[in-house]
Structures are given as C-alpha cells and as structure tokens.
Amino acid sequence: MGKGWFSRKTLGLIIITLIFSAAVLSAAVMYRQQTESDVENGGSLPDGIPRLVWNSENYEESMTALESYFYELQPKVAIKNAPDFKWEDICPDHFWVKSFTVTSYSNTSYKVYNFSYINGAKNSKKMAAAIDKEAQEIIDTVRSASQGDKWKEVLGVHDELIKRTTFIRNDDNSGNTRNLYGALVEHKAVCQGYSYAFSYILEKMGFDSKEIFSEEHMWNRIDSISSTERYIDVTWDDHDTVDSRGEPYVHHDFFCLTKFEMEQFEEHTPEGNRSDPDLSDAQSGDNYYTHMGYYIKSGDEIGFHACALEQFRSGRNLLEFRFESIEDYLNAENQIKTVLPTLGYSDKYYTYKRDELMTFSVGLYPADEAQ
C-alpha cells in the first residue's frame, strides 16, 4: 500500500470526504487516488458511531486511543478536534489499515473516519507483536556488532534486511508484500515493504528516516548520520543472489548517496522532479565506498590491490570498489584478473557494475545461477 496525500475541497456546508485508495503501478508501488461523495443527513453526526476526543497536546496518547479501535477493526470512528491526518500518520505502523475516508459534517466538530482493513486483520495484535519481535532481533544484532557507531548501525539494518528478505517480482497485491508484516515476518516484500521496514526499525533506534517515492519506486532518506541528507535504497541493493555456501551477496551501491547521485536513475526521481546538478558533496565520507575506504583514487593500482586484499582477508564473499576515474573503472575487469590470484583465490567469480556510479563488485564462490 502506498503513501497518500491529504487535501481538502468544500462541498457546500454539508460534507468533505477524502478517500485514500490505490492503483497498482508496474514497479509495485501503490499510488494515490482521491474520490468525493455526499451524505444527505442534514449535516448531523449519525448515531451509533464510537466517539473519541483528540488531545492535541498529546499526540501519542490520542493515537494509542485510536489504535484500540484499529485492533477491534472498527469500521467507523468519530473524532473531535481531529488533526488532518496524512497517510503516513496511519501507515506503516498500523499496517492492517488498508484505506480510510474522512467525512466532515456541518453541524458538529466531529469528523467520521471510515476504515477498511486488509484480509487477515483480525490477527492484527499477533501480527504487530511478531513484527516487533523481528525488529528487535535485528536491532539487537546490529547494536552488538556496531559498538555504538551510528553509521554502522544504519548500515547493519540495511544489511540485515537484505539477508532476511526476498524481493517479490511478480506481486499481485494479495498478500503482505507491501507492509511491515511481509518484510519482517514473512520475509517477502516489494520496494514498499523494504522501505517501510527500514524506517520502522531505524526510528525505533532513534534515527530520522523518511520514505521517498516516485511513480515507480520507493526508497529512504536519512537525516541523522550526516551533515546533509543521504539516500538509501535497500531494495536495489538486494540482488537476491547467494554464493555456493548459501551466503547472500549484500551490495551497497545505494547506501548513503546524495540526492543528485540517486536521481541519476530515472526510477529515483521523486514525483518527476529532478534536482539541479550539484556534485559538491558527491564524494564525501558518508557514502559506503568512501566511508569504508573502498574508493579508488585515479591511477592507484596499489590502492586497488590493497582494498581487494583487505576485503578478501575479512572473509567477504563480495569485493566492492568505486572509482574516481572512468579509465580505471573501465579497466577494472582486467585488473581483477591479475589481482585475484595474488590473493590466493583461483576459483570462479562474477562481476557486477553500475556505470552511473562507477562501482564495481566481484562475487566470490558464486553458485551456478549467480549473475
């Protein structure tokens, strides 16, 4: 389920209705539509609908009260002094809420929220508990390995999601691949599921993560680990390939890129708005390759060899490089043929390249189907 926007149009003095629904796009992002309708009841609030008074000074308290109705799968709730919810106020935490409409009446300060729920939502409490259990397991694993390094914590969440989740290419929107349950518990997701899960875990760890979307895709912006905003696409770093030992290859081409770098890929242009070129911080120490020391300066063959040796000795099954010069990048295939035997590696391998970023990866111990 995709994110939605909240806009308002007046229909006389009687009613304003906002409907959030979804249409499937080719890249597995549910987009947003708005529909309007009238209710002819004189503008009075109907009887029999549960009522909630929203406490504007305590959002969490009010949301907890509303959440109790979500758990009951209550189809309608009348809320007094309700804020103008956006879709992200409901989703992804309350993932079983499929859509909602908002109806305002001229004779009352209440708004009626009409909720619809996903199939299987009657088990929402158990599903939410399972999500929290899986999220906490990832958090514990990451914090144990990172030893307080915030950058490594974010990297660890990125890596753990890739290791635990399978990308679903032929999604029919019938399951949970677009929500937290699919990504964290069923371990199957499309880009929405990855993006929501990434933000959900990071926010539990105290980071500021936001989902960013285009008409075809969804990824994340992180504001907490750099002097400037950074962008991460867990989905595109998950190639769903494993080595001959069953260990996944975890790529990092899309970890902590600048906005300009991310938008070199058409799918990563938010709502069709491409940024003006700005490469001033494109090679700062925040992206994966520069931070890890895997960025090869122009003409530095010794540095290339040393970088390969360091990664190989650490036991990695994927050697990763990013180049400063186009000449060195284009020659990487020939260089690695010379370098690998000096590392003591004589088995088969595969290579992967991203021309836009001049990144080059070498997969060691590949399974027969690795590409």
pLDDT in tens, 38-54: 454 557 888 899 999 99
pLDDT of residue 184: 97
CATH of 293-371, one of 3.40.50, 3.30.110, 2.60.60, 3.30.2420: 3.30.110
pLDDT of residue 4: 28
- Rounded to an integer, the average pLDDT of 306-321 is 97
**The model's pTM:** 0.81
Cβ–Cβ < 8 Å for 190, 201: no
Share of the chain above pLDDT 90, in %: 55
Give, in order, the Cα–Cα distances in Å from 165 to each of 158, 188, 247: 11, 5, 13
pLDDT bin (cut points 50, 70, 90) of residue 9 is very low
Cβ–Cβ < 8 Å for 97, 178: no
pLDDT of residue 294: 97
pLDDT of residue 275: 55
Give 180 or 118, the one with higher predicted confidence.
180
pLDDT bin (cut points 50, 70, 90) of residue 285 is low
Give, in order, the Cα–Cα distances in Å from 262 to each of 139, 182, 203, 257, 309: 27, 26, 22, 6, 29
- CATH 3.30.110 residue spans of the chain: 293-371
Tell whether omega for the bond before 92 is within 30 degrees of 0, i.e. cis.
yes
Give 59 or 320, the one with higher predicted confidence.
320
End-to-end CA distance of the chain: 31
Cβ–Cβ < 8 Å for 125, 43: no
- With CA atoms as reference, report the closest residue to 307 among 319, 317, 325: 319
DSSP 122: G
pLDDT(276) > 70: no
Give residue-wise pLDDT tens across range 118-155. 878 888 889 999 999 999 999 999 999 998 899 999 99
Alpha-carbon distance of 335 to 330, in angstroms, equals: 10
pLDDT of residue 16: 28
pLDDT bin (cut points 50, 70, 90) of residue 59 is confident
- CATH 3.10.620 residue spans of the chain: 122-291
pLDDT of residue 283: 52
Q: What is the CATH number of domain 122-291?
A: 3.10.620
Helices (H) and strands (E) in the chain, counts: 12, 18
Give residue-wise pLDDT tens across range 208-250. 999 998 888 999 999 878 778 899 999 999 999 999 999 999 9
pLDDT of residue 246: 95
Pairing status of strand 295-296 against strand 318-323: parallel
How confident is the prediction for the chain on average, in pLDDT? Answer: 83
pLDDT of residue 116: 87
pLDDT of residue 17: 30
Phi-psi category of 344—alpha, beta or left, where left has phi over 0 and alpha has psi -120 to 50? left
pLDDT of residue 133: 97
Alpha helices in 77-123 (DSSP H): 87-90
